[in-house]
Amino acid sequence: MARQRQITTTRLGRLTHFGRLAGGLISGAVTEGTRQIVSGRRPSIGDVVLTPANARRMTQKLSEMRGAAMKVGQLLSMDNGQLISPEFSEILSRLRDDAHHMPLGQVAEVLGAAWGENWDDQFERFVFTPLAAASIGQVHEAVLNDGRRVAVKVQYPGIRDSIDSDIDNVAGLLRMFKLLPAESDIDSLMDEAKIQLHLEADYLREAGALKQFRQKVAGDDRYATPEVLDDLTTHDVLTMSYLDGMPIEWLEDRAEDERNLAAGSLLELCLREIFEWGLVQTDPNFANYRYQPKSGTIELMDFGATRVYTTEQQASMRNLLQACVDGSGIDVADAAVAVGYLNGNDTPGYRDSIIKLLTTAIEPVRSREDYDFGKSDLASRMSDIVLDMRLKKRVGQMPPVSILFLHRKIGGLYLLLSRLKSRLPVRELVSYADIVPA
């Protein structure tokens, strides 16, 4: 159930939250460590920190704070979720379903600052209980005086100014409690998190990305995007036309033909984003897709995490895909160097693991028959390969962050296609996009 919570807006206030969280984790760890020692066991730091009680403490505090404190987990889990321990991954995953939202008064303050004192005069109705609450902002339904139904995305106050300090504090907690493998260097990830979050916190930039996508899919009845209302959009508030489709998961119980048709549209969209447009919406949250049963239209929303890829990056990724489908191990390794997975001086073990991971990920494209995502164990096999690299071979090296965002995109798509129990001629669809031969 959604809960109201005043968002802490000052750096000092948020630092105090982190201090209390650290203190609570230490107290819980000491209690658990003492209990295990008395029982005759010698616990590890993970055993005493990642207890159910500490998991609740961390989930509760990060959920209250919102902002960058929650977003870091997405970056940490982008290489198939195994840079962090399964226990910590579970803690972070709970945050997606444990949202606090701003109380009415704080929402009114943000809107007053964006639109002026009498902002509500332009609305016939404004629903203060949000449709959704996420890490940076929350979305409200409203009706303008002219009868138009709109969605209003309201950023939490103080979030933009707290990004850098929040991420530094989260990184400090991760290091203090050894929640990451010792050989992992997360500095580049944390730096990228700061850049990405500053971009996502600029709703004018998101509005621009939304307009670009709207132009890209114009005339294609398979897709729809909201229309930006420029006169009601600022850095902190994004107002769009309202899309009222069903959640994409609604398709699960529909006929196979309908599920496969929608799944094929989702896959083709992903291919066009990466290889044709170089404009990729990298947030794979299922809530970012909705479905209109009467028309079969897929509604696209939330473009804060949109990333641009250069023609050179697109070409190197296309070459890698072609090598993974029809090339030799040497071909894959050479293409992987161009993308950034390898640097040419890697150990044979790491190089072989990367080749295995990449060729496994491309399994649906290699198949000359319809690929059954619903029965595939592809995700677990990829997870096993990454686990072997991270935990057994103790490899902390990671691909460029820009590629990790594509992992996030494609991994989320695979999960959705699996959820829809899709059977698709993936190689045929990819060949239509002129990426690999049929």
Cα 438 from Cα 436, distance rounded (Å): 6
Q: Annotate the chain with three-state secondary structure.
A: CCEECCCCCCHHHHHHHHHHHHHHHHHHHHHHHHHHHHCCCCCCHHHHHCCHHHHHHHHHHHHHHCCHHHHHHHHHCCCCCCCCCHHHHHHHHHHHHCCEECCHHHHHHHHHHHHCCCHHHHEEEECCCCCEECCCEEEEEEEECCCCEEEEEEECCCHHHHHHHHHHHHHHHHHHCCCCCCCCCCHHHHHHHHHHHHHHCCHHHHHHHHHHHHHHCCCCCCEECCCECHHHCCCCEEEEECCCCEEHHHHHHCCHHHHHHHHHHHHHHHHHHHHHHCEEECCCCHHHEEEECCCCEEEECCCCCEEECCHHHHHHHHHHHHHHHHCCHHHHHHHHHHHCCCCCCCCHHHHHHHHHHHHHHCHHHHCCCCEEHHHCCHHHHHHHHHHHHHHHCCCCCCCCHHHHHHHHHHHHHHHHHHHCCCEECHHHHHHHCCCCCC
Residue type, 15: L
Say whether 187 is catalytic: no
Catalytic residue among 79, 166, 283, 346: 283
Q: State the catalytic residues.
A: 283
